[in-house]
Amino acid sequence: MTNYEITLEIESQTLSLSQIAAVLGADGSEFSHNKGDRRMSKSSWDETTWKTVPIQDTDIESVLTQLLHHPVIATLQNKRAALGDICAFVNLAVFHQSYTYSFSIPQTLLSRIGEIGLDLSVSCYPCEE
């Protein structure tokens, strides 16, 4: 079985998590971090990354639709200029049980991601059940 996990991520070289949260009206998830915070590898993060709580499902359309209807998406569209020079993207992780795996994303959802001004990052992880 294939599982999908998706988050909205906002990266900034200049803003802190509290500044991003103030503009968006929402705190980031526990997976968010400030620039300069220590990583598990003992080095420090080079940028602040604000993340939503991951949405998980076995249906790719479901996770994308849920994320694109997240309340913070509308706020991001309306207040993006207040965040300055940020990188905002959809981070999609694909967990699959085979050595190779193919999937497709409906054009309507790709178009919506583009309309919002988000980039799309996809990572695939083969794993055992």
Where do the domains of the chain lie?
A: 3-126
d(CA 113, CA 98) in angstroms, rounded, equals 28
Quote the tokens at residue 113: 């991601």
* Average pLDDT, 10 consecutive residues per value, the chain (129 residues): 94 96 96 93 93 95 95 93 92 91 92 95 86
Quote the tokens at residue 53: 């709580």
pLDDT at 129: 58
Query: Is-contact 63 6, C-beta < 8 A?
Result: yes
d(CA 52, CA 30) in angstroms, rounded, equals 9
CA 66 to chain centre: 12
Each residue of 97-123: pLDDT tens digit? 888 888 899 999 999 999 999 999 999
